[in-house]
A and B are shown apart, each in its own frame.
Chain A
Amino acid sequence: MERNRHDDIQKRVEHTMEQLGKERYQPNPFLHTRIKAQLAQEPVPPSFSLRWALQPTLVGCLLLLNSLVVWNYWQQQNTDFSMAEEYGWTEASAEDYLLLPDLGLEE
């Protein structure tokens, strides 16, 4: 029974292998028209020159944005420091920390 099944499968495999390449593409006489329609319909993908022009512009924009962020940060740091100097916040005094002098009152 098992032997018969095996033989049957092998026959089908060989028959299928013989069919390889027998069925071919059937040409379409209207293919020209379809190709022309597709060419007219689809937008042409951007050419390499346009892509090459767009890439540096994009990189330039990113660099500019980065520079602006750094510049902004640096400006803010500088302003904070000037204000501290102006109001005398750069040096802490004993008063600031409420440190009273030792009067020798403790036993």
Chain B
Amino acid sequence: MTEALLIDGLRKGDERAFVHLVDQYQQVVGNTCFGFVQNQVEAEELTQDVFVEVFRSIEKFQGQSKLSTWLYRIAVNKSLNQVAKRKQKRRLQTVSHFFGFGEAAEAREFKDTIHRQPEEELEQAEIRVALRTALNKLPEQQRTAFVLRKYDDLSYTEIARIMDTSVAAVESLIHRASRNMRKKLTHFYQQYQ
């Protein structure tokens, strides 16, 4: 099915077009969401929300960019919003920790992960928490470029198109993100080792 036919089918509410879109793009959309949230359940919920938004707003899609570019943009926006919501929730938890109720959110998440996971999954779970903590501390632009590169294997040109910026800017963002990730991870392991 060509992209034009797919879009036309979606606009007409064709069931086959709907199934085709989900089958073709579930993995890439899911990878982007997973890169931001580092959690399968949250990534699945976000992927679902992305497709719901696509079906609801397909009329607004002008066709000036590729359908995949549009999908990536929606996935990035939804994921960033989700992370921002989570941060807000954490801030409230930190305030309650300050007043003596419970532990700091980050420390609790780390301890929970260590205690709940079976031995063989422990390392993977620890890495997931470390990556999530470090990624969430990167500036939004750096995080977006980095996730699209590492989790979707996109080229600098494709990332530039999605982020509506130049290839040189993407190169610089990824380079800075990589350097910052190492700093954040060092800080993370110093704190919790």
What is A's interface to B at a CB cutoff of 8 Å? 5, 8-10, 12-13, 15-17, 19-21, 23-28, 31-32, 34-35, 38-39, 42, 44-45
Contacts and interface: CB of A to CB of B under 8 A. Distances in A.
Contact of B185 (A16, A26, A27): A16
B193 interface: yes
The B interface is mostly helix, strand or loop, or mixed, namely helix
B22 A35 contact: yes
Interface of B: 18-19, 22, 26-27, 30-31, 33-35, 40, 43-44, 47-48, 51-52, 55-56, 124, 127-128, 130-131, 150-151, 153, 178, 181-182, 185-186, 189-190, 193
A9 B190 contact: yes
Contacts, number: 80
Contacts of B178: 17
A17 B56 contact: no
Nearest to A18: B127
A42 B130 CA distance: 36
Given A9-B193, A16-B130, A39 B30 contact: no
